[in-house]
Structure 1
Amino acid sequence: MRTITALWLRNIRGFVRDRVKLITSLVIPFFFLYVFSSIFKTDQVEDPTAFLLAGITVATVFQTSLNIATSTIDDTVSGFMKEVLVSPTSRLQVALGQILSAATIATAQGVLILIIGFFTGLRFDHWQTIFYVVAALILIGLVFSGLGLFLASMVKSSSTFQVVQQAVVLPFTFLSGAYIPIEFLPKVLKFVSYFNPMTYTTAFFRTIMLEKGGLTQAGWLKLGLAFDFNGFIVTPWISGVVIAAFGGLFLFLATNSFVHADFNKISRTPAAGK
């Protein structure tokens, strides 16, 4: 437990001290809000700003959760992670410390975006929604922190991971409905988006944040919060179950690969790893 707490505190302190990265991570989401807000101005969407802000928040939490891989690789290259792994502690505790810290940081960034969002017109009709939103952010942070640690355990250099990260982030976010409604995508990409865990994450979180949990299936379908698979309707709550299933898979893969990974082979550049 001490190892988990120590790693959690270390990563949280690093997040707080890196003010440039923190400010940038808060500015970029509202740049996307300005650029894509007109896309969601339809008759079905009552509040396009809140609708898009929900997607942007999910995308930010997702990307921040994946940053656990970058910090893990940097810690390995600097020698810190190697010292931790040779200490009398289990790798499972180290993995959990990394995942929990990444989930905490991702949740904090999501909350900060929503706080700023209140100055752009974001409102909740029920005060309980705030707790539901934070709980959903924590779940999303845990799910994709597991994915990030899994990727960190698989790559052999930080430069390789930068390529892998972009290959994961771009299709996952832009094919999820976070920035562009899925209905606007070509048929092929729309089909591909149904295999994207971020698609269900966006629908689930957007339903909670917009307080649309009481709609009918027709209402959810009209807003893109539910999906029709040949008559079977994937409601936002089923999307929540899908997210939890992906979370269990990612956490299993992350802890298993981290326990068996050889971090001595990880280098900062491909040349250094030869």
Structure 2
Amino acid sequence: MRGINLHGIWAIYRTEMQRALRTVWQSIATPVITTALYFVVFGAAIGSHMQQMGGVDYGAFIVPGLMMLTILTQSISNASIAIYFPKFTGTLFEILSAPLSAFEAVVAYVGAAATKSIGIGLIILVTATFFVDLEIRHPFWMLGFLAITSVAFSLFGFIIGIWAKSFEQLAIIPSLVVTPLTFLGGAFYSIDMLAQPWRTISLFNPVVYLVSGFRWSFHGVGDVSVAASLAFMTGFMAICLAILWWMFRTGYRLKP
């Protein structure tokens, strides 16, 4: 039995990172400008009428949700386009015929997508410090949630990239499903503010668990327990891995 093809993993990972570096200024400018606009709209306009939420200044309160919104969309976008583009150009067969296992290919592509998402998340965090006084109570857990979320949704994006048959399908889930769920998942408010039955209904939104765990790492408060957040992330990653295993095993939309 051969060992892990580290050279092959590194080759794909390096190629994906170099592709991102060619648009580094766009990659940096977009989250910085978007973050500034969110703070102008939510922090200044709304925050002036809502001084605190859960004992935290509103400007600081929205930082985890703002980071999560960008991380989810970027993770899905980076990973989905990474595997869809070889399908679109017809070069996917070179990857499938290379001495590279399915596990190694997923590690390379998902690792690159997650790395880019983590970098963008940290850029947003640095940008936020120019607008609000930010204290991270649990920095280790913050980095852990940042990494786990980036990896989990990069896996999800990789699945979308394999499933999609067109660029329209590639964008439909992030734009019509993930983004609305994030806005309705307590990214810019606490679900404790909602009246029943809407608060109970919100608990069926998976993004609530992501935002809550991430916000807890910043401010020590969350809408659900940290254990629930970790359980959701673990289960979501397991489901994504199982789907990818099935896709590569059956060749679903990978082989004619």
**TM-score with structure 1 setting the length:** 0.79
Select 2:30's aligned residue among 19, 24, 27: 24
Select 1:57's aligned residue among 57, 67, 88: 67
Instruction: For residue 120 of structure 1, give the secondary structure of its aligned residue in structure 2.
Output: coil
Query: Does the 8 Å contact 2:35/2:128 carry over to 1?
Result: no
CA displacement at 1:248 relative to structure 2: 1.8
Select 2:216's aligned residue among 195, 202, 207: 207
CA displacement at 1:192 relative to structure 2: 4.1
Percent sequence identity over aligned pairs: 21
Take 2:248 and 2:178, find their aligned partners in 1: how far apart are those partners? 21
1:131-142 pair list within 5 angstroms: 131-142=140-151
Does residue 257 of the first structure (1) align with residue 254 of the second (2)?
no
Select 2:16's aligned residue among 11, 15, 18: 11
Query: Does the 8 Å contact 1:69/1:151 carry over to 2?
Result: yes
CA displacement at 1:256 relative to structure 2: 2.9
Query: Does the 8 Å contact 1:74/1:158 carry over to 2?
Result: no
Which region of structure 1 is more displaced relative to structure 2, 187-196 or 2-11?
A: 187-196
1:173-212 pair list within 5 angstroms: 173-183=182-192, 190-210=199-219, 212=220
Does residue 85 of the first structure (1) align with residue 103 of the second (2)?
no
Query: Does the 8 Å contact 1:36/1:180 carry over to 2?
Result: no
Q: Give the match for residue 230 of structure 1.
A: none
Residue identity matched to 2:101: S
Number of equivalences: 244
Which region of structure 1 is more displaced relative to structure 2, 106-115 or 245-254?
A: 245-254
Select 1:35's aligned residue among 18, 25, 41: 41
Residue identity matched to 2:10: T
Query: Does the 8 Å contact 2:114/2:150 carry over to 1?
Result: yes
CA displacement at 1:142 relative to structure 2: 0.9
Take 2:182 and 2:53, find their aligned partners in 1: how far apart are those partners? 24
Q: Give the match for residue 3 of structure 2.
A: none
Task: Describe the shift of the 1:43–1:157 C-alpha distance in structure 2 as closer, same or farther (beyond 3 A).
Answer: closer
Q: Give the match for residue 223 of structure 2.
A: 226
CA displacement at 1:59 relative to structure 2: 1.2
CA displacement at 1:16 relative to structure 2: 1.9
Query: Does the 8 Å contact 2:35/2:127 carry over to 1?
Result: no
Select 1:107's aligned residue among 110, 113, 118: 118
Instruction: For residue 107 of structure 1, give the secondary structure of its aligned residue in structure 2.
Output: helix
Gaps of 5+ in 1: 213-219, 228-234, 266-274
Instruction: For residue 159 of structure 1, give the secondary structure of its aligned residue in structure 2.
Output: helix
CA displacement at 1:191 relative to structure 2: 4.0
Residue identity matched to 1:202: V
CA displacement at 1:125 relative to structure 2: 6.3
Take 2:35 and 2:136, find their aligned partners in 1: how far apart are those partners? 24
CA displacement at 1:254 relative to structure 2: 3.0
Task: Describe the shift of the 1:117–1:240 C-alpha distance in structure 2 as closer, same or farther (beyond 3 A).
Answer: same
Take 2:37 and 2:81, find their aligned partners in 1: how far apart are those partners? 24
Task: Describe the shift of the 1:201–1:156 C-alpha distance in structure 2 as closer, same or farther (beyond 3 A).
Answer: same
